[in-house]
Amino acid sequence: MKMKKIIYYLSITIIFTSCVSVKQIGSLNMLSTRNIDSSKDYQLISTYAGASKRETKKTRSKSIDEATTQTVRKIPGGEYLMNVKVYLITRRLRIIRRRTFYAIEGDVWGQPKESQYRGFQPGDNVLWKVAGKFKSGTVKTIIDNTSCIVIDENGTLIEKKFDKITKSK
């Protein structure tokens, strides 16, 4: 009797849990939802924007156009994307219900504004605490107004929140 209950609850849990699948459906050299002015000198502002697994799974963009705009607008001064990967995210809500969304990953190009958040900008040396010890690194790029990509002393890329790092000299 007890085994039947366990199997019953286990099967109900499996049926009603949501599953997320991420599938790359294409890659493009350049993608933009705005007109590009050829007389302007665009620069690389951010690399791998929209690339974290967490960002990809959280997206709710119902079209590629919406996903592109969302990715570019996260970066101040962003105009278009280069080296783009397009993902199809399928969320299975229960057995019957399925929803699909799109996510975009790529290098954001534009005219960089004074990309400075809370006093941090690319090239700044920063410190943070891990297990009671301080680690150091350099800010590589600003992701959005809450986090940035830091290269630590080993050359590893780490996403850090601005609340968790401090500037060093």
Residue 119 domain-assigned? no
How many domains are there within the chain?
Answer: 2
Residue 88 domain-assigned? yes
Place 82 in a pLDDT band, splitting at 50, 70 and 90.
very high
Cα distance between residue 108 and residue 105, in whole Å: 9
CB atoms under 10 Å from CB of 141, counted, come to 21
pLDDT in tens, 67-78: 998 888 877 778
45 and 77 assigned to the same domain: yes
Tokens (6 digits) for 56: 């990809």
pLDDT in tens, 15-47: 555 577 788 898 999 988 888 888 888 888 888
Q: What is the pTM of this model?
A: 0.59
Query: What residue numbers bound the domain in which 81 lies?
Result: 17-110
| Residue appearing with tokens 């997206």 | 59
